[in-house]
Amino acid sequence: MLNWLVEPLSYEFIRNAIAVGIFTGILCPVVGTYLIVQRMALLGDVIAHAVLPGLAIAFAWGINILIGAFISGLFSTFVIAWIRTQSRVKVDAAMALTFSSFFALGIALITSLKSKLDLDNLLFGDILGVTIADAQRTAIITLIVLLLIKLFYKELLLYTFDKQGAQALGYPVNLLHFGLMAAITLTIVSSMQTVGVVLVISLLVGPGITAYLLVKELHQVMGLGAILGVIVTIGGVYASYYFNIPSGPAIVLLTFSLFFLALLFSPSQGILTRPEMAHRSTWIGRVLQFIKLGHK
């Protein structure tokens, strides 16, 4: 068993992948928790797909593709807000239209500019292909975002659960919104190589909603979600190494597996363990016992 765990660590690319996986596994659930409690999980998917035009343009212009991705993803949130404020269109429709339009534009630009970007890796991730520089960059982004969340936790907490109350108290609501969108976009950009733009929403939301079934407080959801995020990313690396499957899908499948177990067996909210199920099981047992006595 020990050899099974240690053997992959002899390779530098595995060590780099695990390092990136740890930082990504912590960052995504912490930031994604805000999307969950605001019921805006789809926004993460929109931003993830909206980075493609920025990637293509940045690559064609010879600048850092992560800068282009960040600008493009953040711009998509402004487009959604603009549509909402300038029309009667609801937010879900605005997000769906922006999602598909930015994604289509990105594919068109990558094709027309004859970009040599590896589309498969961008869409589905390749954590085994990260370098030490990628690990360092992810670590810096993670530390910066977590530090800002720590500093403005009280303000973000009130903004998340009571925007009108936050505005009445004089909090800079628009600035908090912009900061949160920037943090989400930065998280998605830093996670592209781990699970890809198509699957990143799973890492943003999956560990968080799993933790949501097990604990109650927001900070507890963030903490437990981060632990689960680290578990699934490292587990995905090992699954990719030993079973020769793509790393991104492996991480996502592990994420869903943990969620499904929590959905079934959560002490307070599990389908098979919640109080009403226990009462129903007792009632069924009594009925079966009565039937047996009747046969006697």
**Of the ranges 35-44, 45-54, 200-209, 224-233, which is most confident?**
224-233
Note the pLDDT of residue 133: 87
Tokens of 126: 């390749």
The whole-angstrom distance between residue 14's C-alpha and the CA centroid of its chain comes to 22
Range of the domain at 56: 12-200
Give the residue from 36, 32, 77, 35 showing the smallest Cα distance to 54. 77
Contact between 222 and 30 (Cβ < 8 Å): yes
pLDDT at 296 over 70: no
Give dist(CA 166, CA 155) in Å, integer: 8
* DSSP calls for 112-172: HTT----HHHHHH--GGG--HHHHHHHHHHHHHHHHHHHHTHHHHHHHHH-HHHHHHTT--
Rounded to 5 degrees, φ, ψ at 56 are -65, -45
Q: Domain total for the chain?
A: 1
Q: What is the pLDDT of residue 191?
A: 85
Place of tokens 């805000």: 34
Q: What is the CATH number of the domain that holds 175?
A: 1.10.3470.10
Does residue 206 sit within a domain? no
- The C-alpha atoms of residue 134 and residue 140 are separated, in whole angstroms, by 10
pLDDT in tens, 210-265: 999 999 899 999 999 999 999 999 999 999 889 988 888 889 999 999 999 999 99
**Percentage of the chain lying above the pLDDT 70 cut:** 90
Residue 54 domain flag? yes
Residues 216 and 266 sit within 8 Å (Cβ to Cβ): no
Note whether residue 290 is domain-resident: no
Q: Radius of gyration over alpha carbons of the chain, in Å?
A: 22
Q: Is residue 16 part of a domain?
A: yes
Task: Answer yes or no: are the C-beta atoms of 202 and 255 closer than 8 Å.
Answer: yes
Indicate whether 30 belongs to any domain. yes
* 227: in domain: no
Confidence of residue 285 (pLDDT cuts 50, 70, 90): low
In a domain, 22, yes or no: yes
CA proximity to 71, closest of 182, 201, 193: 182
Is residue 254 in a domain? no
